[in-house]
Amino acid sequence: MGEKRQDVLAGFRVIELGSYVAAPTAGRLLAAFGADVVKVEPPGRGDESRQWHTFGSETSLLWRSLGRGKRSVTIDLRTAAGRDLVLDLAKHSDIVLEGFRPGTLERLGLGPGVLAAANPDVILVRLSGFGQDGPYRDRAGFGSVAEAMGGIRFLTGYPDRPPVRVGIALGDSMAGVYAALGAVLALLGRERGRRPGESGRDGQAETADAGLAGTVDGDPAETVDVALYEAVYSLLDSVVAEYDAFGAVRQRTGPTIAGVVPSNAYQCADDGYVVIGANADTVFARLAKAIGRPELSDDPRYAGASARGRAGDELDAIVGEWTRRHTQAEVMAAMADAGVPATPVYDAADLAADPHLAARAAHERHEVPVDGGTASVRFPAPVPRLARGPARPRWAGPDLGQHTREVLTEVLDLNDEELGRLAANGVI
């Protein structure tokens, strides 16, 4: 028999506040590994992402993806009663995850000091365009702005054309990944700091002992501050280092990276494209042999990465001339036989059909409402893969307020009369 598997975040509860993509991405990852993520949404309209890319459906598949494994609760944070409900939930939670502009949480009466007073053990994870301090903190900032300030927009596209964006919410998604990582690191630090026998959350330490869980001067046990632009900037490896050291400003290079040769998307005889990465010396020798030009690996003009970088146009022309004489399948077979890193350029249909993705369980299927009925659709499975505590498919993003009654009765022990009064007053 194999090892017993368990949800590594089982028993931890997360309150998710905020819309769009960044904070919900963090919540989705935490839910995938077993956390009870309670998504708090405005009554009536819910998370903004519910209405993006709907293709005529009432609720977008983007929301169904971002909301996977979460419980949807509708609470109007603008009301005093709504704020009190969130504070009560925070008393029974480990993490509060928010994606507002800095200062918004404080104006709602749910700032760090208020949350810490309700629960000294709570971890506050904050995502914003520019971070919680600095001269730009009060600016509005979406992922597109973060991608521009973080430097990746300047590097994306062709040198003779304006900067372009990638076709996904890269800045938001990366910030969400970092926020989830920060949340788990904070949980690890908090749990390691406990005395034996301390239970946390539902058995809170007295205020005098709150420092044992990391609370200092009325602050939460830990505050995680993720700026969207910094999440993007972190991807830029040595771009600024090259500027500091050499005054070099890296430019847009289309489908290539300057100095990394050959590494490009090459067109095939059937109009498909294959990305080939053969910029290492030994791999370049294997590529040269595979395309019938073994002498290239002995040519001093192409000896070493620096020389190949200077000869990028020549080598791309040689490789491209060969690929245009072969179909995509033929190019891929030759690269696989030669041990050269390569892959077709995939679209959505290719991703859905690829046997390797299926074998690796890279898709996660959920039944979702589509055109008046239901359909089994695929979403990307959570990353990373844990052998003993893998992510488990739970459910697609729920309908708005689907779990309001369930959560408020289960966690806060509210009765039908109390729930009815809150609903009548527009709080839930």
Sign of CA dihedral 98, 102, 104, 107: positive
Binning pLDDT at 50, 70 and 90, where does residue 259 land?
A: confident
Binning pLDDT at 50, 70 and 90, where does residue 213 land?
A: very low
Binning pLDDT at 50, 70 and 90, where does residue 373 land?
A: confident
Domain segments of the chain as ranges: 13-234+365-424, 263-267+273-344
Tens-place pLDDT, residues 4-54: 667 999 999 999 998 899 999 999 999 999 999 999 999 998 999 998 887
Mean pLDDT for 250-266 is 92
From the list 172, 244, 299, 416, the catalytic residue is 172
pTM of the model: 0.90
Q: How far apart are CA 265 and CA 307, in angstroms?
A: 20
Binning pLDDT at 50, 70 and 90, where does residue 111 land?
A: very high
Say whether pLDDT at 161 is over 70.
yes
Binning pLDDT at 50, 70 and 90, where does residue 57 land?
A: confident
Mean pLDDT for 80-107 is 97
CA-closest candidate to residue 15, choices 48, 46, 37, 33:
37
Q: What is the pLDDT of residue 257?
A: 86
Q: How far apart are CA 52 and CA 89, in angstroms?
A: 29
Tens-place pLDDT, residues 316-355: 999 999 999 999 999 999 999 999 999 999 999 999 999 9
Exposure string for 208-233, b = 16+ CB within 10 A, e = fewer:
eebebbbbeeebbbbbbbbbbbbbbb
Q: What is the pLDDT of residue 231?
A: 97
DSSP letter at 384 equals: S
Mean pLDDT for 60-88 is 95
Say whether pLDDT at 204 is over 50.
no
Instruction: Work out the mean pLDDT of the chain and round it to a whole number.
Output: 91
The yes-or-no answer on residue 172 being catalytic is yes
DSSP letter at 139 equals: S
Strand order from edge to edge, sheet including 13-17: 70-74, 36-41, 13-17, 95-98, 123-128, 222-227
Binning pLDDT at 50, 70 and 90, where does residue 56 land?
A: confident
Say whether pLDDT at 156 is over 80.
yes
Q: How far apart are CA 145 and CA 322, in angstroms?
A: 41
Q: What is the pLDDT of residue 200?
A: 59
CA dihedral 194, 199, 201, 202 (to 10 degrees): -160
Say whether pLDDT at 1 is over 70.
no
Say whether pLDDT at 281 is over 90.
yes
Mean pLDDT for 412-416 is 96
13-234+365-424 CATH pick, 3.90.180.10, 3.40.50.10540, 3.40.50.1000, 3.40.1710.10: 3.40.50.10540
Q: Which CATH superfamily is domain 263-267+273-344 in?
A: formyl-coa transferase, domain 3 (3.30.1540.10)
Say whether pLDDT at 207 is over 50.
no
At 425, which amino acid appears?
N
Residue 53 buriedness (CB in 10 A; 0-12 / 13-18 / 19+): exposed
Q: How far apart are CA 174 and CA 179, in angstroms?
A: 9
Lowest mean pLDDT among 15-29, 194-208, 397-411: 194-208
- Which residues does residue 276 pair with via DSSP β-bridges, in sequence order? 264, 342
Q: What is the pLDDT of residue 417?
A: 96
In the chain, the percentage of residues whose pLDDT exceeds 70 is 93
Binning pLDDT at 50, 70 and 90, where does residue 215 land?
A: very low
